[in-house]
Structure 1
Amino acid sequence: MTRLLAISSTGGHWVQLNRLMPAFEGCEVHWACTSPDHEARLRVAAKRLGQGVASYTAITDANRWTRMKLVKQMLETVALLIRVRPDVIVTTGASVGFFAIRAGKLMGARTCWIDSIANGDELSLSGAKAGPHADLFLTQWPHVAKPGGPDYRGAVL
């Protein structure tokens, strides 16, 4: 069975990642988010779809203005990757997804970055930095797609 890590920041990133849940059918799915508050709702949604949740991990929330928290977030993400050893990593961003893509790729995981629907005019900063390192690099806006990535294959709305 494919071991998949679905990881993102909270808010819209998390909502979009959850909307991909049906695509993860048949996988052992480990979830991670920058909020400790989503586990119960996640388990209810998975049960409704007849899926399980192998684990849920809350990771420190951080951004480019909280540099020390970013270091902590990176270390927690790497520790999660070492513990879970995912075959595939899917993320909708932001910084936690960047760290998962970069470290996961080094560990041999196949990786997928789906840029946030919130970035309608241009690629997100995290997407611009992480996307080129992902095996599959997607945008949810057709006019943001370009040769070499990101590609447009639809939206998660």
Structure 2
Amino acid sequence: MMKKICFIASTGGHFEQLMMLKPLMNKCDSFIVTEKTKYSVIKDHKKVYYLRQVNRSEKTFIPKMIFNSIKTIEIFFKEKPDVIISTGALSTIPMCIFAKLLRKKLIFIESFAKVNTPTLTGKLLYKFADQFYVQWEDMLKIYPKAIYKGGIY
């Protein structure tokens, strides 16, 4: 039986990196979760779900995270993914944590933009991820149990 994979990322560079995995998305039973923006970033994927954009410096940070957490639970129970693949950032944390609570496999790919410093999301999810990938060899000093295979670009 084919595993169902959730590909999740916030908008911008995190999403662009996630879309580098499109050949894998097309080969498996998958769906995408990202933040809703004013512009359309996905045109040809069959299943896409949207969360609210989150910025930890905004006054609405906590309500948006609560909303996203509830929305994540709804998406999770509707789709029942076996594996979560994430490139971050903040809005993806509820899905990643929830998946681990339900004993699903979590794969996290640290940002290509991070050459020698960790992201906040990476620092948190490193503890939970079944597989944690870095895109720069120097990042193995920060994440010694990470997997380095080069960049996804």
Q: TM-score, normalised by structure 2?
A: 0.87
- Work out the CA distance in 1 between the residues paired with 2:36 and 2:115: 24
Deviations 1:101-120 (A, max 9, x none): 11011122211000111222
Deviations 1:79-138 (A, max 9, x none): 211111101110000012222211011122211000111222211001100122010011
Single out whichever of 23-32 and 83-92 deviates more from structure 2: 23-32
Provide structure 2 residue ranges, at least 5 long, that are not aligned to the other structure.
none
The residue number in structure 2 matching 1:28 is 29
**Residues 149, 35 of structure 1: CA spacing in aligned structure 2 closer, same or farther, 3 A cutoff?**
farther
Deviation at 1:25, TM superposition (A): 4.3
CA RMSD of aligned residues (A): 1.6
- Work out the CA distance in 2 between the residues paired with 1:29 and 1:60: 21
1:58 to 32, 36, 50: 50
Deviations 1:55-89 (A, max 9, x none): 10111111322222122122212221111110111
Single out whichever of 104-113 and 147-156 deviates more from structure 2: 147-156
1:140 to 135, 144, 148: 135
Moved over 4 A (4+): none
Over the matched positions of the two proteins, sequence identity in percent amounts to 26
- Work out the CA distance in 2 between the residues paired with 1:11 and 1:112: 20
Partner SS state of residue 90, structure 1: strand
Provide structure 1 residue ranges, at least 5 long, that are not aligned to the other structure.
44-52
What letter matches 2:51 in structure 1? Answer: I
2:41 to 38, 41, 57: 38
The residue number in structure 2 matching 1:115 is 110
- Work out the CA distance in 1 between the residues paired with 2:93 and 2:63: 16
1:85 to 56, 80, 83: 80
Determine if the alignment matches structure 1 residue 155 to structure 2 residue 151. yes
How many residue pairs match? The answer is: 146
Q: TM-score, normalised by structure 1?
A: 0.85
- Work out the CA distance in 2 between the residues paired with 1:119 and 1:148: 15
**Residues 79, 148 of structure 1: CA spacing in aligned structure 2 closer, same or farther, 3 A cutoff?**
farther
Preserved CA contact (<8 Å) 1:6 1:17 = yes
- Work out the CA distance in 1 between the residues paired with 2:46 and 2:80: 13
The residue number in structure 2 matching 1:46 is none
Single out whichever of 144-153 and 83-92 deviates more from structure 2: 144-153
